Structure 1
Amino acid sequence: AKDRRSAMTPAGLAKLWAGLALLFGTVFVFTIPPFQSPDEPNHFLRAWQISEGVWLPEKGDNRLGGTVPASLVQLCDSFAYLKMDYEARLALPQLETARRLALSGHQRVFADFPNTAIYAPTAYLPQAAGIGLCRLAGAGPLAMLYGARFANLIVWILLVWRALLLMPFLRPLMAALALLPASLVIAASANADVITNGLCWWLIASFLAGAGKYHLQIAAFILACLNKLIVLPIGLFPFSLNIKRAGRNLLPAVLLLVAGFAAALFWGQFARAAFIPYDHYAPAYRDAQTLNEGVDPARQLARVATHPFEFTGIALRSAARALPSVAAHIVGKFGWEKNYLHPVWLALLGLCLAALVSTESPLIRPFQRAAAGGIVAVYVFLFALTMYALWCPVGATEVTNFQGRYFTPILPLTMLAVANGRLAAKAKVIRICAATVLILGNLAIIAAIMQRYYW
């Protein structure tokens, strides 16, 4: 059946989105220089570790990471000069040298990747599969990075494509969110959040569709909670959808939430035990890691427990200050640094989203929309708490590291909470304009990537 306000069938929309996502995503896989996505060197090393069947990180001598081929570390280091140096450019001869670098399977070294070592291995299954296939083909380390990126992209596309087919409404808005330049840039990296983002989008669409495939929902939710503990509140959403039904229909929702909680608790305990803060990390290596001085999660959380209102105020003020940059991150950011699309493009993309939000009302009750908004608020609070514990010195007066990519899992719930039909009469024109701007926006970010790294 066709969408009531669109001339395109759900399958047609999903295919069109998937085609555009594959086109632009593949361009991003190969045009963004190696390791110029946030924390990509450490994500790559952790994915390699898992591709060898080593699911748990190595910890010893106050270091956290793993033993990997020396050529992998050499590859990561050879592109480090690009990070945070806006004048640095990638020379094609250097890329050719990296391509010729052979895998030193027998020469191995210990590599530090403390910030990604605490991620569950399930967050790296696509990347590890891509690396493993490249290794079987006899490819070198650089090809393995591209293999990890491309595998991540394919998994993201498949999950979002399926979510678009399941969504009973707001499909064009979801497709637009998934086609944002920043969404595709992060999906085309080796980042651990890509599969989690896709799983959360599929779960939300599946809940709304009432698909009834409870075993798949529970399995997906377990994976998502293992990968990212703070997505647990998403498991509350089915309760709002089933609250008017017979009590027996709540059993799958209860099982899903309990399973997700158990998964989050299980990996959370491991991550807590494995984490080494900056002050306790090996002094000879800690300054090169993504760790901040003065961080102590246990002491920080104890402080929050004794000063909950103080922390709530800090979190609210920090979120308000970070809101403009978070919005820009969600729409049009790439790379490690503050690389954004031109403000005109950010504004155009933002206006398109705002217009699309007003083209259709979600076919759910007001209290269900309120539940979606409440879950978003809880997620943001848990994110702030996590960053405060793992990233900020004890007693800090601000929560830092608010980045838009961290909020991708809850974008579908956000659209459910704010969508309305005020511009429904102009939906067709708005959607055509939005599609045009999104395509041009992706072309613009390709040009921005070339200008930043090559020209």
Structure 2
Amino acid sequence: MIAPPAQTPSSQVQAQQEESASALRIRVAAIFAEHRSRLIPTHSKEARAARLYPMLYVGFALPVILVLCFVSLPCFVPDEANHLLRADQVSCGEVIGESAQGAEAGGQVDSGLLRLANGFSRLRNRWKARYTGAAHPPARISLREFQSLETIQWSGSAKWAGFGNTAIYPPTSYLPQAAGLWMGARFGLSVLHTIFLARLLTALCAMALGCWAIAICGSGRLLLAVVLLLPQTLYLYASMSQDAMLIAYTLCGLALVSRAVTESRLLSSSELPLALCFFLMCAAARPPLLLLSAVLLLPPLCLRRTRRETLRTLGCLALLAAVTLAWSWRAKHLGPLTTWNGGNPPAQVIYVQHHLSQVPGIALHTIKADWGKLLFSMIGCFGYLDTFLPGMAYPLFLELLVAAVLLDSRRRRVRPALALLVVASVAGVVAVMYALEYLIATPPGGGHALGMQGRYLLPLLPALGLLGVVLPRPREWGRPALVLVLAGIVDLRLPLILASEFYHQSLWGVLQMIW
């Protein structure tokens, strides 16, 4: 019998290396499959909703947003002119705004961009003049005015501009806007067409994050999708405002928490840092949202792991708060605080200190005076906050939001008292927002807070979807998708409404004028 040839040392080493490589590939595939099963639902109904809801969202939102990117007049979204200047600053590599002695913070921006922003700001002021009663030119933009602004080119020379209310924001909320401005300037596009490009990139990035959030979300998936289909959300996505990315970041963080709570498990080693990053980017841009990150405590509390896991989450929240406060402290020293409506924070603080007994009355009066306006502006309020949807659209969207919470409930064995954590975090964010508005946007001694806008509530609404884990599941499943269909059908009218309000031409004529 012939013996097999003996293996040489080199062949033995090669065989061992192949076995090690094969074992490594198997291990990597197992890890990928484990994380994929956690980030993407695998149950039949969950998988069906995870595929259907993003498809419905994209099918209705994408055409509306693509048209709005061009039809919506630049600088007509709240504070969009200053967001535009801040995005240009970020595109030049400036992480934070520059301070100016005795003046509001700002920075160096392209003079051509500044000229276009001032041109559209004049149009917006003319729009505002409709309410003064004095003689003024027509509010709608004409073809000649549009063509004069369309010819403005990038100058290549920098000029100082003040934009104190946006210079303090972190660059993470302006990444797609800055990328669009940078590409447009390098490719030789006009300033106006560059803004359109930046809007498109912002909308696509925000929509991509929104689709991912819908796909991975557990309880509250339907509510999250309805919030993304609100006309106000679509209007902000098709703009240069930081609210577009801010809403997307918040929804992604809430979706990760919702998935873990629904599956009765902790956030994985990859999900927890990701959720922290999303909440950090939100809190740095809008500090009251720091309170919303308290929902990260839900997974360990639901599993009654109140020691090691809860302490680890509390440590993460402490780090999140430290970074947020450090950024806010740095931004505070850029310049004087931006105020409006005659606000005077030092005088307002003195008034509150001497009239503490009136604070509950001020809060009740604010709720009574603001709740209707807040709901309207949360669903859709455009232009100079004076352009609205058809009257029946508002009660319809309110009913769709309530139906989304009830139809997407999935009761788990969790303590109902944990719902108080969700409610308290959302209520805390709203209370801090109102307190800040009372300081900086309300005259000293005002009877109720001014300046609160419904768009501030959009990142908070999906958090209420976490309440679905303590609500009973409805008997029927499969009809919730009709909620998204109804919302999408109403959204299709939004470009027509804005075109008829802003321009003399029809929607098709506006698109032909732009291109």
Could you tell me the TM-score, scaled by structure 2's length? 0.79
Partner SS, residue 159 of structure 1: helix
Native 8 Å contact 1:41 1:76 kept in 2: yes
Distance (Å, rounded) in 2 between the aligned partners of 1:449 and 1:420:
41
Distance (Å, rounded) in 1 between the aligned partners of 2:197 and 2:312:
37
Instruction: Report the Cα offset of residue 295 of structure 1.
Output: 2.8
Task: Return the match for 2:435 from 367, 378, 385.
Answer: 385
Per-residue CA deviation, residues 328-372 of structure 1 (Å, 9 max, x unaligned), is 112122223221112112122222223333223243532222211
Paired amino acid for 1:234: L
Task: Return the match for 2:146 from 95, 112, 115.
Answer: 95
Distance (Å, rounded) in 1 between the aligned partners of 2:240 and 2:312:
33
Distance (Å, rounded) in 2 between the aligned partners of 1:137 and 1:419:
50
User: What is aligned with 2:409?
Assistant: 361
Instruction: Report the Cα offset of residue 303 of structure 1.
Output: 4.9
- Aligned residues between the structures: 441
Give the direction of change, closer, same or farther, for the CA distance of 1:16–1:272 in structure 2 (3 Å limit).
same
Partner SS, residue 160 of structure 2: strand
Partner SS, residue 334 of structure 1: coil
Native 8 Å contact 1:164 1:171 kept in 2: yes
Native 8 Å contact 2:173 2:246 kept in 1: yes
Per-residue CA deviation, residues 391-422 of structure 1 (Å, 9 max, x unaligned), is 22333221111211011121111333489868
Native 8 Å contact 1:47 1:127 kept in 2: yes
Task: Return the match for 1:375 from 412, 425, 434.
Answer: 425
Instruction: Report the Cα offset of residue 444 of structure 1.
Output: 2.1
Distance (Å, rounded) in 1 between the aligned partners of 2:227 and 2:457:
12
Give the direction of change, closer, same or farther, for the CA distance of 1:233–1:306 in structure 2 (3 Å limit).
farther
Paired amino acid for 2:114: V
Distance (Å, rounded) in 2 between the aligned partners of 1:169 and 1:295:
41
Paired amino acid for 1:38: P
User: What is aligned with 1:77?
Assistant: 118
User: What is aligned with 2:498?
Assistant: 449
Q: Which runs of 5+ in 2 are unaligned?
A: 1-40, 131-137, 261-266, 505-515
Distance (Å, rounded) in 2 between the aligned partners of 1:430 and 1:387:
37
Task: Return the match for 2:156 from 96, 105, 108.
Answer: 105
Q: For the aligned residues, what is the CA RMSD?
A: 2.6
Distance (Å, rounded) in 2 between the aligned partners of 1:102 and 1:196:
30
User: What is aligned with 2:91?
Assistant: 51
Give the direction of change, closer, same or farther, for the CA distance of 1:184–1:252 in structure 2 (3 Å limit).
farther
Distance (Å, rounded) in 2 between the aligned partners of 1:412 and 1:123:
20
Could you tell me the TM-score, scaled by structure 1's length? 0.88
Task: Return the match for 2:66 from 2, 26, 34.
Answer: 26
Partner SS, residue 333 of structure 1: coil
Distance (Å, rounded) in 2 between the aligned partners of 1:5 and 1:402:
39
Per-residue CA deviation, residues 234-257 of structure 1 (Å, 9 max, x unaligned), is 221122331212522224422331
Paired amino acid for 2:221: R
User: What is aligned with 2:283?
Assistant: 225
Give the direction of change, closer, same or farther, for the CA distance of 1:414–1:98 in structure 2 (3 Å limit).
same
1:134-149 equivalences under 5 Å are: 134-149=184-199
Partner SS, residue 313 of structure 1: helix
Paired amino acid for 1:353: L
Distance (Å, rounded) in 2 between the aligned partners of 1:163 and 1:408:
15
Give the direction of change, closer, same or farther, for the CA distance of 1:172–1:221 in structure 2 (3 Å limit).
closer
Per-residue CA deviation, residues 113-172 of structure 1 (Å, 9 max, x unaligned), is 122122223322221122112222222211222233222212221222121122123322
User: What is aligned with 1:285?
Assistant: none
User: What is aligned with 2:308?
Assistant: 248
Greater Rg over alpha carbons, structure: 2
Native 8 Å contact 1:150 1:188 kept in 2: yes
User: What is aligned with 1:237?
Assistant: 295
Give the direction of change, closer, same or farther, for the CA distance of 1:126–1:302 in structure 2 (3 Å limit).
farther
Per-residue CA deviation, residues 410-436 of structure 1 (Å, 9 max, x unaligned), is 11113334898689346644642x333
Q: Is residue 273 from structure 1 mapped to residue 329 from structure 2 by the alignment?
A: no
User: What is aligned with 1:281?
Assistant: none
Native 8 Å contact 2:170 2:285 kept in 1: yes
User: What is aligned with 2:13?
Assistant: none
Paired amino acid for 2:329: Q
Paired amino acid for 1:436: V
Distance (Å, rounded) in 1 between the aligned partners of 2:177 and 2:458:
19
Distance (Å, rounded) in 2 between the aligned partners of 1:3 and 1:92:
55
User: What is aligned with 1:171?
Assistant: 221
Give the direction of change, closer, same or farther, for the CA distance of 1:172–1:56 in structure 2 (3 Å limit).
closer
Distance (Å, rounded) in 2 between the aligned partners of 1:193 and 1:311:
30
User: What is aligned with 2:134?
Assistant: none
Give the direction of change, closer, same or farther, for the CA distance of 1:308–1:264 in structure 2 (3 Å limit).
farther
Per-residue CA deviation, residues 72-130 of structure 1 (Å, 9 max, x unaligned), is 12111222224425551122343333222111112x33222122122223322221122
Q: Is residue 193 from structure 1 mapped to residue 193 from structure 2 by the alignment?
A: no
Native 8 Å contact 2:153 2:190 kept in 1: yes
Per-residue CA deviation, residues 292-345 of structure 1 (Å, 9 max, x unaligned), is 264333453465466555334323421332111111112122223221112112
Give the direction of change, closer, same or farther, for the CA distance of 1:353–1:441 in structure 2 (3 Å limit).
same
Give the direction of change, closer, same or farther, for the CA distance of 1:3–1:399 in structure 2 (3 Å limit).
farther
Q: Is residue 162 from structure 1 mapped to residue 212 from structure 2 by the alignment?
A: yes
